[in-house]
Amino acid sequence: QVQLVESGGGLVQAGGSLRLSCAASGSIFSNNVIAWYRQAPGKQRELVASITSIGGTAYAESVKGRFTISRDRAKNTVNLQMNNLKPEDTAVYYCNYRLTALSYNTWGQGTQVTVSS
């Protein structure tokens, strides 16, 4: 089993920056994908960014050029650097761990990001 803990959320003004962190613990396997999702009130959860075990990344069109996802392998941590934040980025952000060869996946508890205009 894998447990995920998100941190780094908060309240910022438009144009500001935040860095979210997802710390993983438990039985970590190398063939995994870590992703950040977000969910705003009344909306479906959407994929924001993902990173594979070999460093491949993908981003939602709405955050390209502003957000960067990265791994710290020594700490089993994935970070999401968010720059030039906009009010529409306001949401609860969730970390997701998925084994690419199996159906197993798990979620963190979420961290709130609020961007004021």
Q: Percentage of residues in the chain with pLDDT exceeding 90?
A: 83
- Predicted local distance difference test score (pLDDT) of residue 48: 98
* Per-residue pLDDT band at 6 (split at 50, 70, 90): very high
Q: What is the pLDDT of residues 31-88, one digit of tens each?
A: 889 999 999 999 999 999 999 988 999 999 999 999 999 998 888 899 999 999 999 9
Residue 29 or residue 20, greater confidence: 20
Tell me what the pLDDT averaged over the chain comes to.
Answer: 95
Name the phi and psi angles at 6, rounded to 5: -95, 150
d(CA 63, CA 48): 7
**C-alpha distances in Å from residue 71, one per residue of 12, 48, 52, 53, 91:** 24, 15, 9, 9, 22
The two structure tokens encoding residue 92: 């609860």
Residue 30, pLDDT > 90, answer: no
Whether residue 98 is predicted with pLDDT greater than 90 in this model: the reply is: yes
Q: What is the pLDDT of residue 73?
A: 81
What phi and psi, each to the nearest 5 degrees, are found at residue 87?
A: -55, -35
What's residue 103's pLDDT? Answer: 83
Residues 6+ apart with CB under 8 A from 51: 33, 34, 35, 57, 69, 70, 71, 78
